[in-house]
Structure formats: structure tokens, C-alpha cells
């Protein structure tokens, strides 16, 4: 019975994650650092890309799964960067390690650092329990893909193709 309850909870949680189409206020007001080491809130980041399809890659330079996925993210970037804006949000522990990681792993896109990491305000507001994590935002600013953990997930390319055509 406990297994059935746990499975049901997992399914309900998964459905609620998939159904989220808007960012919570906590997400929008969360403060990040730019690559120039200035503060910016998430709402301002989204506003910079208003009217565009946005691919968000949440990663960290210490995350082996993130690094293993990087070639596939690079393939997406090469295939879609003319029609999709790529934003990376890093959960690195320091500004210096983050900047070194971007350079070392040649991470493409517009870069931001989440200063309180996965378990901070932004992470909690988007139910960030694993990285890498990918999100897709449509041209109206709605969340089209709330949670993908592989850049090769079928929903990633399907959603991007649907949104840019």
C-alpha cells in the first residue's frame, strides 16, 4: 500500500510540474548575477527576451550530468540559435568557478548565476530537484516545458519546433 501511495504522489507531483505555465512571483523577483557581476532579477531577464522562444539550461560546472549533456545542448544551440534565445542559469558555488566553467566547457548562451543555488528562492519556486534542468518559454512568456532533465527529451525538440513554426 505504501508503494501505491508513493507512486500516486509521484504521478500527481509530475502532473503538477508539467501543468505550471507561469513563473511564480518568487521566481520573477529572484536575483541573479550577470557575467559582468551585476545583479538582475529574473523578470528583467525574461523581459530582455520578450517575444522570443527561450531555452533555459540550469546547470553547474561541478555537475557531471550537466557536463555530459553539454554536447547535446550545443547541438540544440547550433540548430536553433537563430530562432531561440539560449539562457544558462548556473548553480555554481562561486562567481569565479562559474566563470571558469563557462570558459572551460565553452557553454553557449546568455549566462547568469543563481547565487543561492538549487535550494534557494528561485530553485524552490521552480521545484528544482535535479540538474541539468531544461525549460522552454514561448513567445508570450508562458512556460511551454516546465521540466526536462535531458536535452534529448522528445518534448524539447518537439516543443521548440512547434513554437518557432
User: CB of 94 within 8 A of CB of 60?
Assistant: no
Options 1.10.3210.10, 3.40.30.10, 3.90.280.10, 3.40.50.720; CATH of 22-164: 3.40.30.10
**CA-closest candidate to residue 98, choices 110, 116, 113:** 113
Task: Give residue 1's pLDDT.
Answer: 54
Q: Report the alpha-carbon distance of residue 95 to residue 52 in Å, rounded.
A: 28
Task: Give residue 6's pLDDT.
Answer: 41
Task: Give residue 10's pLDDT.
Answer: 42
Q: Which residues of the chain have pLDDT under 50?
A: 2-3, 5-17
**CA-closest candidate to residue 158, choices 145, 141, 140, 143:** 145
User: CB of 136 within 8 A of CB of 163?
Assistant: yes
Task: Give residue 7's pLDDT.
Answer: 43
Task: Give residue 8's pLDDT.
Answer: 44
Amino acid at each position: 500500500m505504501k508503494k501505491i501511495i508513493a507512486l500516486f504522489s509521484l504521478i500527481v507531483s509530475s502532473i503538477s510540474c508539467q501543468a505550471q505555465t507561469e513563473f511564480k512571483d518568487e521566481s520573477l523577483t529572484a536575483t541573479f548575477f550577470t557575467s559582468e557581476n551585476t545583479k538582475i532579477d529574473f523578470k528583467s531577464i525574461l523581459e530582455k527576451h520578450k517575444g522570443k522562444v527561450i531555452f533555459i539550461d540550469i546547470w553547474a560546472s561541478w555537475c557531471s550530468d550537466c557536463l555530459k549533456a553539454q554536447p547535446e545542448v550545443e547541438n540544440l544551440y547550433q540548430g536553433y540559435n537563430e530562432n531561440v534565445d539560449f539562457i544558462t542559469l548556473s548553480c555554481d558555488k562561486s562567481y569565479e568557478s562559474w566563470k571558469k566553467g563557462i570558459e572551460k566547457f565553452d557553454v553557449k548562451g546568455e549566462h547568469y548565476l543563481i547565487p543561492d543555488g538549487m535550494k534557494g528562492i528561485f530553485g524552490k519556486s521552480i521545484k528544482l530537484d535535479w540538474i541539468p534542468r531544461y525549460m522552454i518559454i514561448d513567445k508570450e512568456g508562458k512556460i511551454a516545458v516546465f521540466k526536462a532533465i535531458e536535452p534529448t527529451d522528445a518534448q524539447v525538440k518537439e516543443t521548440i519546433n512547434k513554437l518557432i513554426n
